[in-house]
Chains A and B, each alone.
Chain A
Amino acid sequence: MGRIVVCIKGVPKPGTVKVDKETHTLRRESAELILNPPDRSALEVALRLKDQANFEVIAISMGPPNMVPVLQKVYALGVDDIYLISDKAFAGSDTLATSRILARALSLLSPFDLVIMGARSIDGETGQVPPETASLLNLPSITYVKELRFVDGKFIAIREDDFGEEEIEFPSPAVVSITPEIDYVRPPSLKRLLSLKDVNPKVLTNAELNLDEADIGLSGSPTQVADVFEKTLVSRGEIFEGEPDELAEKLIEILKEKGFLA
């Protein structure tokens, strides 16, 4: 039986997040956390492989203690085991520090056939963690996969980019990130929901991961968040009138001025 590890993230429920004024990072421990929506797609892909070929599916998440209810709900979707990667020393990690932490946790959970993640999170939206984690583990990285097939013991990824669709056969283990929009995600199981209070994630702290303080948390983050704010859209526009030829010329001038055209 093969093993798939799905890395999931808890993101603040839109409208409930507060920003720490000093560090400019999200105060995750006080926010109401929900499962990052693209990770639901990632879990669905993993669970379909479990249905098809009996893979063991483990869900892991780096986050504060208030991630536990989110992980419990993930258990209700049908995964075999849940892990919380949590330590005060991890707080404030940017995508690179996070990737180091996840890579170390994944190495403790090896051997595995696949690591699956959502392509990006709805709070950071960088999409960097899956390829960074793959790189740190020295594994192939395939991003924005919309469908994952397992045929005759081989994995095939169908990914979509701006130019069309491509089919990639890849060796395992590998790190795959799943595009947010897949056709169908399953609901939780009532049987599991009824017994959730008895289900707790296994916890891995830095005592188990044994990472250098310089590589994790705020101190291990080469990127710093300058600010997090809710963007308000101010409508600004100009209306030009004239003949189509003149207007086209005018438009090209404006686009050049603004640096959109060379």
Chain B
Amino acid sequence: MLIEFPLKEEHKIMIELIKEIGETYIKPYSLEWDEKEAYDPTPIKALAQADLFGLIIPKEYGGLGFGTFEMCLAVEWLSYFCAGVSTTYAASFLGAYPIILFGSKDQKERYLPSIAKGEKLCAFALTEPQAGSDAFAIKTTAKKDGDFYILNGIKQWITNGGIADIYIVIALTDPAKGARGASAFIVEKGDPGFVVGKKEKKLGLRASVTTDLIFNDCRIPRERLIAKEGMGFMVALKTLDYARCGAGAQALGIAQAALEVSLKHAKTRVQFGQPVYQFQAVSHTFAEMAMRLSSARALVYSVCQYIDSGAKDFSGASAMAKCFATDQAMWITERAIQMMGGYGYMRDYPVQKFFRDAKCLQIYEGTNEIQRNIIARELAKWIKV
């Protein structure tokens, strides 16, 4: 675009690879998947064979040991081709983070190698019907029973439900302790008493799978507890801190695609004897899109680099990256439809899909209202009076 961010050779190689994967395995099919609301495992298989599920997994477990920045570059470029596919991909990292950040050596050895190879997808289960933004209102329980825990409850709207093999489930081990009363568990597909609910019908991200998870006296060995009892919310919130930039990166990819498609259209669509781009109402809109996308990208990239530099406290920073970039993506995709007129509204063209895909980004991984709460809270800590 108008700014080129300096990238290392290894980043350029990775982006080239993702573009090749996007052109071969995603672009010819993304509209069809969206239309049919179909999950196709083929691009996921390609990403696995390309070593891309190992991006942030430490090298000693078969991964590439890269950081948040590389993860975001990968998610951004995948989202350029289809945000449904990038959601399946990014949500698997969301599920892997608790093991990477808090898992015991045994847990890391047991799970991370097959995650790095893309053999097993992950999912992250916090939300419940009565607990969305108010995560502390979860009711799923995990009762200790000798060498086991028994889980009971329902998780709602979980990405990769049914297609993942590894599920990180936040459940109450001690309801009386409130914020210190939850624990994080690894539940595996096939564990007794664990079933997956029906697949949800969504406005966008239709190539990704979202389901409920139902725990009915689900019995898991106690080795599946991550860290210690009572650390559940901490595991969840720290995981979300890391993964938020990923949602911001998705926004960048979708917005980039929307800008390109609508700009190409504006330069060729002739009305009143000239390309509509010549009219300032149109060209100024594109100028605005470019500014918003470039500033969103600069923010996401700098937050990634801040996290990778070893920052300890970055909740506010990652909240800003997620909130700003996803709001910009919504603005840009809505304008992209408008700039294409009737063509923007027709489902034969991709711009309407970008708009529908972008909407979810303002909602999941913490709504943008919650992100603003986080930013405000962190800002308040920063100034002492």
Which residues of A are in contact with B by a Cβ distance under 8 Å? 184, 186-191, 193-194
Contacts and interface: CB of A to CB of B under 8 A. Distances in A.
B32 interface: no
B21 interface: yes
A193 B51 CA distance: 10
Interface stretch (B10-18, B131-139, B256-264, B335-343): B10-18
A187 B13 contact: no
A187 B42 contact: no
B46 A189 contact: no
Nearest to A193: B13
Interface residues of B, number: 17
- The B interface, classified by DSSP as helix, strand, loop or mixed, is helix
A198 to B, nearest CB: 13
A52 to B, nearest CB: 14
Contacts of A193: 13, 17
Nearest to A192: B51
B374 interface: no
Nearest to A47: B49
B110 to A, nearest CB: 22
A188 B51 CA distance: 9
B46 A191 contact: no
B20 interface: yes
Contacts of B51: 189-191
A190 B73 CA distance: 14
Contacts, number: 33
B375 interface: no
B100 interface: no
A51 to B, nearest CB: 10
Interface in B8-46: 10, 13-14, 17, 20-21, 24-25, 42, 45-46
Interface of B: 10, 13-14, 17, 20-21, 24-25, 42, 45-46, 49-52, 54, 64
B49 A186 contact: yes
Nearest to A196: B13
A193 B9 CA distance: 11
Contacts of B50: 186-190
Nearest to A186: B49
Contacts of A186: 46, 49-50
B11 to A, nearest CB: 10
B64 A188 contact: no
A190 B64 CA distance: 9
B46 A190 contact: no
A194 B49 contact: no
B62 to A, nearest CB: 9
B14 to A, nearest CB: 6
Query: In the complex, which of the residues A186, A190, A194 has the most CB atoms of chain B within 10 Å of its own CB atom?
Result: A190
Contacts of B42: 184
18 contacts: A184-B42, A184-B45, A186-B46, A186-B49, A186-B50, A187-B17, A187-B50, A189-B50, A189-B51, A190-B13, A190-B14, A190-B50, A190-B52, A190-B64, A191-B51, A191-B54, A191-B64, A194-B10
A165 B45 CA distance: 28
B276 to A, nearest CB: 32
Nearest to A183: B42
A12 B212 CA distance: 52
Given A186-B49, A187-B17, A187-B24, 6 more contacts: A187-B20, A187-B21, A188-B20, A190-B13, A191-B54, A194-B13
